């Protein structure tokens, strides 16, 4: 790195203290990076991003399962689309890779299969606006490129209760997104999202977002869906 080069500002988000300490120490020894850290908590991460001019966020998978960090990546993408997010995990299944990119990740990195040098290349790659993904993972992503997150909600007789757009709203709310984030994801206004929620509540006989999430968990199933334009 030349003496006049500007270092890349990185936020490491990880609840694995040992891994976080090792990676933070290693990256801080390299002049091309300035590194901050914070726990894997969406509100904490968004608050940190709003107060700092960060360029890349590395999100380490949670002990409860790597899929637990996907809502955090989704919220980073919606609130700060200019920031490149990378999913860091000890293992990457095809499903996890697809869901990471669907959530807004710019790259996926398997810590168990690659070392610090490759991680540095990954950070530089996504900071430059590129995507970090291998050819096999790319094929999996391309296979589902036309799909959209949706949750089919059924009644006791297996009959559909909601429209396709309403099912998308349920899926995003179940992921923990706010009305504003759902609106941004579906290219709608917040007012329209509220109207959708009122109709959904009325159809399902519920009155709160918590009830909606519980209902979706007990009566819903994921599905492959065609893209529904706004």
- CATH number for the domain spanning 102: value is 3.40.50.2300
User: For residue 214, is it within any domain?
Assistant: yes
User: For residue 203, is it within any domain?
Assistant: yes
- CATH number for the domain spanning 196: value is 1.10.10.10
* Nearest C-alpha neighbor of 61 from the set 77, 76, 40, 82: 40
Mapping DSSP to helix (H, G, I), strand (E, B) and coil, where does residue 60 land? strand
Beta strand 220-222 with 151-153 is antiparallel
User: For residue 227, is it within any domain?
Assistant: no
Give the number of C-alpha atoms closer than 13 A to the C-alpha of residue 74, restricted to the C-beta side.
25
Domain boundary among 143, 169, 202: 143
The verdict on 16 and 87 lying in the same domain is: yes
* CB distance 127 to 146 below 8 Å: no
The tens digit of pLDDT for each residue in 75-90 reads 899 889 999 999 998 8
User: For residue 1, is it within any domain?
Assistant: no
The tens digit of pLDDT for each residue in 66-121 reads 677 888 898 899 889 999 999 998 888 888 888 888 888 999 998 878 888 999 99
The single-letter DSSP state of residue 3 is: T
For helices 70-79 and 42-51, give the axis angle rounded to 10 degrees: 30
The verdict on 138 and 155 lying in the same domain is: no
Determine the structural domain holding residue 15 and report its residue range: 8-143
The verdict on 68 and 134 lying in the same domain is: yes
Question: What is the model's pLDDT at position 154?
Answer: 61
- Residues whose CB falls within 8 Å of the CB of residue 27, separated by 6 or more in sequence, listed in order: 10, 12, 33, 35, 116, 119, 120
The tens digit of pLDDT for each residue in 124-134 reads 999 999 999 88
Task: Answer whether 0.75 is exceeded by the pTM.
Answer: no
Total number of domains constituting the chain: 2
The verdict on 134 and 179 lying in the same domain is: no
Q: Which pair of tokens denotes residue 221?
A: 């199933």
* CB distance 101 to 126 below 8 Å: no
């Amino acid at each position: 790195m030349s003496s006049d080069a500007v270092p890349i500002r990185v936020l490491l988000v990880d609840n694995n203290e040992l891994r976080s300490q090792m990676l933070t120490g290693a990256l801080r020894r390299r002049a091309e990076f300035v590194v901050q850290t914070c726990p894997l908590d969406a509100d904490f991460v968004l608050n940190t991003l709003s107060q700092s001019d960060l360029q890349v966020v590395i999100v380490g998978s949670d002990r409860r399962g790597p899929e637990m960090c996907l809502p955090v990546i989704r919220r980073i993408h919606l609130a700060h689309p200019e920031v490149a997010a990378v999913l860091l995990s000890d293992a990457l299944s095809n499903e996890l890779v697809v869901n990471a990119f669907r959530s807004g990740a710019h790259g996926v990195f398997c810590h168990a299969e690659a070392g610090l040098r490759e991680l540095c290349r990954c950070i530089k790659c996504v900071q430059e606006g590129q995507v970090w993904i291998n050819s096999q993972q790319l094929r999996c992503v391309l296979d589902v490129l036309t799909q959209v997150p949706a949750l089919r909600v059924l009644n006791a007789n297996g009959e559909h209760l909601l429209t396709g757009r309403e099912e998308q709203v349920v899926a995003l709310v179940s992921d923990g997104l706010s009305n504003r984030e759902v609106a941004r994801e579906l290219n709608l206004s917040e007012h329209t999202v509220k109207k959708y929620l009122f109709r959904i509540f009325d159809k399902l006989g519920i009155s709160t977002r918590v009830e909606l999430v519980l209902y979706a968990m007990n009566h819903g199933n994921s599905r492959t869906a065609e893209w529904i334009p706004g």
